[in-house]
């Protein structure tokens, strides 16, 4: 199959659409949401930075306020001038520092000597030496020039917030008498407190950059925030991280969304695919499969079967295809009818009979067959017109239909009909045959035709005795009808009757005997003179074969010639006839200038055997070719015209003459015969039978003579038996005569006797 199947194409189209949809989401909608979430996260981070810085600022200002409260106070002022226990007892103690959130507090006098120092529990060391070291550290800061009074310094104990203020009177006037230092250690407690306040875990470490840095990784934004903005000289920075909540949420939402979308897409794809498959492709496939089946089986009655009741386009398509098939079938049936039916009588034709035999599953055990041939049908057409002829045929067809019962009637030739009955025997067939013959004669009488007769042959075939075929049936019928025609028409004969005449029950037996006869000289040639009546002269002889069967006696050529033709033996027989006739007649022919007429049949023409033998015989015997006549029958003309024309022109080149035998038995038109280079027309003896009594026959024969004379053809009238017939022929023509009136076909010796007698006369 070229290209993709519909299903695959649809599948791909849907898949591309879904992929496009997912692509748009992936490359347009997804980045938009991510960007938006990053923006939101940034706002959140900024606000977190603000809140951390606010926590620290608050701490610082609280510490500053506390420092000022204590430093600008008369009691502190008095205390640094005159340190006393009373001040310490009522104001100091590490609980105080703890409450104030201070790690250490140092009172310095004007000389920057420590007057009093107090450490909070947060500061955590009871070790006197450590405290002293720490105090010394702080004093270094105090003394160091340039130190801001509000700063963060690193110490051995971690970073600390350092603040100092001059100690003055409560009214703020006068000179300072000392300095109050407050230290706030940025230790774990402090960090955890501010972390709690800022609601984010904060760490502190030495400064790495001088500005706010926000470092983002997949999950967190890590903030490095310098403490300089809050405290002076603070070489420290705060570190805390903010979860990228919006970003993470969006990402997870998108991930779930994408996954869902993918599943949805796949689901959609499958659903669409299945839907299309079920509603379209599967049904198309069904139609295609059915059509293939129909094509394969070549059964015109098959149709696409539908398993649906709902109507849609596909259903419409199937219906339309079925309608087309119906129409085709109708056309086929019509043309079959035309091919298998005779248009005039509406009876089946010869093809139909053949077809019936070819298509019968098993042949009927026994059939009775009736073959009808209208006598002189041609004459009826000529005298009464085509219309009457047609009416006769239609009438005969209607009679056949009437008697048919379960049988089968067909028109197999111009005036030939066949009637087959599967249950009857010869006896029943004969009854019907008699009836039909009578019906036809009656019909003729009504039309003003006296003596309208039929030739009927009957046969009975038994499949058990001997398997029969269409060919066997037709051959046997041919044999019977041939016999009927040649023994005077107007009668009903059965194959049995003819066969018992020749004592042959089976053709096979005859074949064997014919071969034997050829080898062992059982054939003999009789010769029948062909004479010119006035003045009397023997002009030629026709060689007619005879078979003297040693057991069965003489067998008529009317019986064995058709069989020999059928069996292909006619060519061998014909060769023998030609050679024998030439050798027997040559002497007489040459000395009395007699022509020799021999019969050839279709088969001998077709297989070239006759021409071949003729060349040999003529060169072997030096027989004068112009004395040889070749008789072909009209039925031969109906065969291959071109072949026949070739045959005739070859003979003409050899100077051999051509006779058309049995003119009037067939149905060929005159113009058709004119296309052949004929020399002699032999008018069939049936034309002579009714002479001189039958007016119609007389008219017809007269017409024929006129026509053939006009055409410049020589004529031989066959079957002249009575003087009246001879008189008629003499009166109307210069035709030659062949008939019992002068002589029957006779053996050679008798012919010689006849010749002697007539030559003497
Ligand atoms: P056909 O060629 O038409 O021969 C004339 C037939 O009419 C002969 O029958 C002859 O005996 C018969 N006939 C002649 N004059 C009269 C007459 O006045 N009255 C009547 N009632 N009959 C007459 P035959 O000899 O029985 O031959 C029958 C047919 O057999 C021939 O018809 C011819 O078709 C065929 N046939 C005979 N010999 C040969 C042959 O050597 N080769 C071939 N192919 N066919 C042959
Ligand atoms: Ca003949
Ligand atoms: Ca003849």
- Domain residue ranges of the chain, discontinuous segments joined by +: 44-243, 361-501, 529-542+594-760
Tens digits of per-residue pLDDT, 174-223?
888 888 888 888 888 888 888 998 888 998 888 888 888 888 888 888 99
Which residue's CA is minimally distant from atom 7 of ligand 1? 719
Q: How far apart are CA 409 and CA 369, in angstroms?
A: 10
Q: How far, in Å, from the CA of 526 to the mean position of ligand 1?
A: 10
Are the CB atoms for 399 and 453 separated by under 8 Å? no
Q: What is the reported pLDDT for 504? A: 47
**In this structure, which long-range contacts are made by residues 31-36, counting pairs with CB atoms below 8 Å and at least 24 apart in sequence?**
33/250, 33/253, 33/254, 34/247, 34/250, 34/251, 34/254, 36/246, 36/250
Q: What is the reported pLDDT for 702? A: 93
- State yes or no: pLDDT of 753 exceeds 90: yes
Mean pLDDT across 477-495: 82
| Ligand 1 atom closest to residue 557's alpha carbon, by position in its atom list | 30
* 89 CB-contact burial (10 Å; exposed 0-12 / middle 13-18 / buried 19+): exposed
Alpha helices in 668-712 (DSSP H): 670-674, 686-689, 695-710
Q: Which of 625, 690, 691, 688 is nearest to 652 (CA)?
A: 625
* 281 CB-contact burial (10 Å; exposed 0-12 / middle 13-18 / buried 19+): buried
Tokens of residue 614, six digits: 């003729």
**In this structure, which long-range contacts are made by residues 295-301, counting pairs with CB atoms below 8 Å and at least 24 apart in sequence?**
300/325, 300/328, 300/329, 300/332, 301/329
Q: Which of 501, 424, 503 is nearest to 460 (CA)?
A: 424
Q: Say if ligand 1 is within 6 A of residue 745 CB.
A: yes
- State yes or no: pLDDT of 423 exceeds 90: no
Q: What is the reported pLDDT for 652? A: 96
Which of 66-70, 168-172, 242-246, 655-659 has the largest mean confidence?
A: 655-659
Q: How far, in Å, from the CA of 484 to the mean position of ligand 2?
A: 17
**In this structure, which long-range contacts are made by residues 40-48, counting pairs with CB atoms below 8 Å and at least 24 apart in sequence?**
40/246, 41/221, 41/242, 41/244, 41/245, 41/246, 41/247, 44/242, 44/245, 44/246, 45/214, 45/221, 45/223, 45/242, 48/198, 48/200, 48/223, 48/240, 48/242
Q: How far, in Å, from the CA of 679 to the mean position of ligand 1?
A: 20
Q: What is the reported pLDDT for 635? A: 63
- Closest ligand to Cα 544: 1
Tokens of residue 436, six digits: 């039909």
Mean pLDDT across 575-604: 95
**Strand ranges (DSSP E) for 112-265?**
114-119, 150-155, 158-167, 178-185, 202-206, 213-216, 220-226, 236-243
Q: What is the dihedral of CA 184, 187, 193, 198, to 10 degrees?
A: 100
Q: What is the reported pLDDT for 2? A: 44
Burial 486-504 (b: 16+ CB within 10 A, else e): beebbbbbbbeebbeebeb
- State yes or no: pLDDT of 464 exceeds 90: no
Q: pTM value?
A: 0.45
Q: Which residue has the tokens 């310490």?
A: 88
Q: How far apart are CA 432 and CA 426, in angstroms?
A: 10
Tens digits of per-residue pLDDT, 491-528?
888 887 777 655 444 556 778 889 999 999 999 999 99
- Closest ligand to Cα 683: 3
More confident residue, 666 or 260: 260
Torsion angles phi and psi, residue 210, rounded to 5: -90, 15
Q: What is the reported pLDDT for 505? A: 45
Q: What is the dihedral of CA 327, 331, 333, 334, to 10 degrees?
A: 140
Q: What is the reported pLDDT for 4? A: 61
- Closest ligand to Cα 562: 1
Which residues lie closer than 8 Å to 42 by C-beta, 6 or more apart? none
Q: Say if ligand 1 is within 6 A of residue 200 CB.
A: no
Burial 581-599 (b: 16+ CB within 10 A, else e): bbebbbebbeeeebbbbbb
Q: What is the reported pLDDT for 530? A: 97
The mean-pLDDT minimum among 23-27, 173-177, 232-236, 368-372 falls in 232-236
* Fold entry, domain 529-542+594-760: TIM Barrel (3.20.20)
Please state, for a pLDDT cut of 70, what percent of the chain lies above it: 94
What's the mean per-residue pLDDT of the chain? 86
**DSSP 8-state symbol, 354:** H
Q: What is the reported pLDDT for 750? A: 96
**DSSP 8-state symbol, 341:** B
Query: Which residues lie at CB < 5 A from ion ligand 2?
Result: 599, 631, 661
Q: Say if ligand 1 is within 6 A of residue 685 CB.
A: yes
Which residue's CA is minimally distant from atom 10 of ligand 1? 745
Sheet holding 492-494, edge to edge: 408-411, 416-421, 366-374, 454-462, 492-494
- State yes or no: pLDDT of 172 exceeds 90: no
> What is the SS3 assignment for 565-632?
HHHCCHHHHHHHHHHHHHHHHHHHHHHHCCEEEEECCHHHHHCCHHHHHHHHHHHHHCCCHHHEEEEE
Mean pLDDT across 158-166: 85
Note the CATH architecture for domain 361-501: 2-Layer Sandwich (3.30)
Query: Rg of the Cα trace of the chain?
Result: 68
* 82 CB-contact burial (10 Å; exposed 0-12 / middle 13-18 / buried 19+): exposed
Which residue out of 517, 546, 575, 599 has the highest number of ligand 1 atoms within 8 Å of its CB and is therefore the one to mutate?
599
Are the CB atoms for 390 and 327 separated by under 8 Å? no
Which residues lie closer than 8 Å to 746 by C-beta, 6 or more apart? 526, 527, 528, 754
- Closest ligand to Cα 631: 2
Mean pLDDT across 697-716: 91
Q: What is the reported pLDDT for 618? A: 96
Tens digits of per-residue pLDDT, 537-573?
999 999 999 998 887 777 878 778 877 887 789 999 9
Q: Which of 223, 189, 207 is nearest to 53 (CA)?
A: 223
Q: How far apart are CA 555 and CA 545, in angstroms?
A: 10
Mean pLDDT across 279-304: 84
Which residue out of 488, 514, 526, 544 has the highest number of ligand 1 atoms within 8 Å of its CB and is therefore the one to mutate?
544
Q: Say if ligand 1 is within 6 A of residue 662 CB.
A: yes
Strand partners, 105: 118, 182
The mean-pLDDT minimum among 126-130, 432-436, 668-672 falls in 668-672
Angle, vertex CA 614, rays to CA 608 and CA 619, nearest 5: 135
Tokens of residue 391, six digits: 């009416």
Q: Which residue has the tokens 């008095």?
A: 78
Tens digits of per-residue pLDDT, 30-52?
899 999 998 998 899 899 899 98
Q: How far apart are CA 531 and CA 505, in angstroms?
A: 39
Which residues lie closer than 8 Å to 103 by C-beta, 6 or more apart? 97, 119, 120, 122, 123, 160, 183, 184, 185, 187
- State yes or no: pLDDT of 454 exceeds 90: yes
Tokens of residue 223, six digits: 């903030």
Confidence of residue 681 (pLDDT cuts 50, 70, 90): very high
Which residue's CA is minimally distant from atom 15 of ligand 1? 739
Which residues lie closer than 8 Å to 374 by C-beta, 6 or more apart? 380, 392, 393, 396, 415, 416, 440, 452, 454, 455
Q: How far, in Å, from the CA of 659 to the mean position of ligand 2?
A: 9
Mean pLDDT across 5-12: 79
Strand partners, 458: 370, 494
Local structure of 447: helix, strand or coil: coil
**Strand ranges (DSSP E) for 301-434?**
366-374, 408-411, 416-421
**DSSP 8-state symbol, 199:** T
Tens digits of per-residue pLDDT, 354-409?
888 888 777 788 899 999 999 989 888 888 899 999 999 999 999 999 888 888 99
The upper half-sphere exposure of residue 52, i.e. CA atoms within 13 Å in the direction of its Cβ, equals 27
Note the CATH architecture for domain 44-243: 2-Layer Sandwich (3.30)
Q: What is the reported pLDDT for 732? A: 95
The mean-pLDDT minimum among 197-201, 654-658, 714-718 falls in 197-201
Q: Which of 424, 404, 412, 421 is nearest to 372 (CA)?
A: 412
Torsion angles phi and psi, residue 180, rounded to 5: -105, 125
**DSSP 8-state symbol, 278:** I
Q: Say if ligand 1 is within 6 A of residue 558 CB.
A: yes
Largest Cα–Cα separation, the chain: 208
* 642 CB-contact burial (10 Å; exposed 0-12 / middle 13-18 / buried 19+): exposed
Q: How far, in Å, from the CA of 308 to the mean position of ligand 3?
A: 72
Are the CB atoms for 53 and 230 separated by under 8 Å? yes
Q: How far apart are CA 465 and CA 617, in angstroms?
A: 44
Q: How far, in Å, from the CA of 722 to the mean position of ligand 2?
A: 20
Q: Say if ligand 1 is within 6 A of residue 83 CB.
A: no
- Closest ligand to Cα 542: 2
Local structure of 552: helix, strand or coil: coil
Q: What is the reported pLDDT for 500? A: 61
Q: How far, in Å, from the CA of 316 to the mean position of ligand 3?
A: 68
Q: Is the peptide bond before 692 cis (omega within 30 degrees of 0)?
A: yes
Q: Which of 75, 77, 73 is nearest to 171 (CA)?
A: 73
CB atoms within 10 A of CB 34: 15
């Amino acid at each position: 199959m070229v290209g993709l199947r519909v299903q695959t194409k649809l599948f791909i189209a849907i898949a591309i659409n879904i992929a496009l949809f997912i692509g748009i989401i992936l490359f347009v909608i997804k980045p938009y949401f991510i960007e938006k979430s990053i923006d939101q996260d940034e706002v959140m981070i900024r606000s977190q930075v603000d809140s951390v810085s606010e926590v620290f600022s608050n701490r610082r200002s609280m510490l500053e306020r506390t420092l000022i409260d204590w430093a600008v106070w008369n009691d502190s002022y008095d205390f640094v001038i005159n340190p006393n226990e009373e001040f310490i007892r009522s104001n100091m103690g590490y609980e105080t520092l703890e409450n104030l959130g201070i790690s250490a507090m140092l009172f310095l006098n004007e000389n920057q000597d420590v007057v009093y120092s107090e450490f909070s529990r947060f500061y955590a060391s009871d070790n006197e030496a450590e405290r002293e070291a720490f105090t010394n550290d702080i004093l270094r800061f105090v003394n160091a020039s340039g130190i801001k009074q509000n700063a963060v310094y690193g110490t051995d104990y971690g970073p600390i917030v350092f603040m100092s203020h001059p100690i003055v009177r409560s009214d703020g006037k006068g000179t300072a008498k000392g300095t109050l230092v407050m230290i706030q250690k940025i230790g774990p407690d402090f960090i955890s407190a501010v972390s709690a306040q800022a609601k984010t875990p904060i760490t502190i470490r030495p400064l790495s950059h001088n500005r706010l840095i926000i470092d983002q990784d997949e999950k967190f934004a890590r903030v490095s925030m310098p403490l300089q903005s809050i405290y002076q000289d603070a070489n420290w920075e705060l570190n805390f991280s903010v979860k990228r909540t919006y970003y993470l949420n969006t990402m997870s939402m998108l991930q779930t969304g994408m996954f869902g979308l993918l599943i949805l897409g796949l689901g959609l794809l499958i659903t669409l695919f299945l839907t299309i498959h079920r509603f379209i492709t599967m049904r198309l496939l069904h139609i295609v499969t059915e059509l293939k089946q129909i094509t394969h089986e070549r059964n015109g009655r098959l149709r696409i079967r539908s398993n649906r009741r709902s109507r849609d386009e596909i259903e419409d398509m199937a219906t339309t295809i079925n309608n087309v098939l119906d129409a085709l079938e109708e056309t086929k049936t019509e043309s079959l009818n035309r091919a298998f039916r005779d248009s005039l009588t509406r009876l089946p034709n010869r093809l139909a009979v053949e077809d019936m035999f070819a298509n019968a599953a098993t042949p009927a055990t026994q059939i009775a067959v009736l073959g009808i041939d209208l006598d002189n049908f041609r004459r009826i057409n000529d005298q009464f017109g085509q219309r009457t002829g047609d009416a006769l045929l239609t009438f005969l067809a209607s009679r056949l239909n009437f008697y048919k019962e379960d049988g089968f009637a067909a028109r197999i030739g111009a005036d030939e009909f066949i009637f087959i009955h599967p249950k009857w025997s010869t006896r029943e067939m004969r009854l019907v045959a008699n009836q039909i013959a009578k019906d036809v004669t009656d019909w003729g009488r009504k039309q003003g035709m006296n003596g309208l007769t039929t030739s009927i042959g009957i046969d009975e075939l038994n499949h058990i005795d001997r398997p029969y075929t269409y060919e066997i049936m037709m051959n046997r019928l041919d044999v019977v009808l041939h016999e009927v025609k040649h023994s005077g028409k107007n009668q009903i004969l059965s194959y049995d009757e003819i066969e018992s005449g020749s004592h042959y029950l089976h053709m096979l037996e005859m074949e064997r005997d014919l071969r034997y006869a050829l080898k062992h000289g059982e054939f003999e040639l009789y010769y029948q003179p062909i004479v010119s009546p006035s003045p009397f002269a023997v002009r030629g002889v026709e060689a007619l074969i005879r078979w003297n069967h040693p057991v069965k006696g003489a067998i008529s050529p009317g019986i064995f010639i058709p069989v020999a033709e059928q069996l292909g033996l006619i060519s061998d027989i014909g060769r023998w006839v030609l050679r024998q006739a030439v050798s027997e007649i040559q002497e007489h022919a040459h000395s009395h200038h007699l022509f020799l007429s021999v019969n050839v049949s279709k088969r001998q023409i077709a297989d070239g055997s006759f021409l071949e033998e003729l060349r040999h015989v003529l060169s072997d015997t030096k027989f004068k070719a112009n004395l040889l006549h070749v008789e072909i029958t009209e039925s031969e003309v109906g065969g291959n015209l071109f072949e026949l024309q070739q045959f005739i022109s070859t003979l003409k080149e050899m100077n051999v003459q051509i006779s058309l035998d049995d003119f009037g038995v067939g149905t060929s038109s005159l113009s058709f015969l004119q296309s052949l280079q004929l020399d002699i027309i032999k008018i069939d003896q049936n034309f002579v039978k009714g002479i001189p009594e039958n007016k119609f026959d007389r008219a017809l024969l007269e017409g024929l003579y006129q026509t053939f004379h006009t055409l410049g053809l020589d004529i031989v009238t066959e079957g002249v038996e009575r003087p009246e017939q001879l008189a008629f022929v003499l009166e109307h023509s210069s035709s030659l005569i062949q008939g019992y009136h002068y002589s029957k076909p006779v053996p050679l010796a008798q012919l010689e006797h006849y010749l002697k007698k007539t030559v003497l006369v």
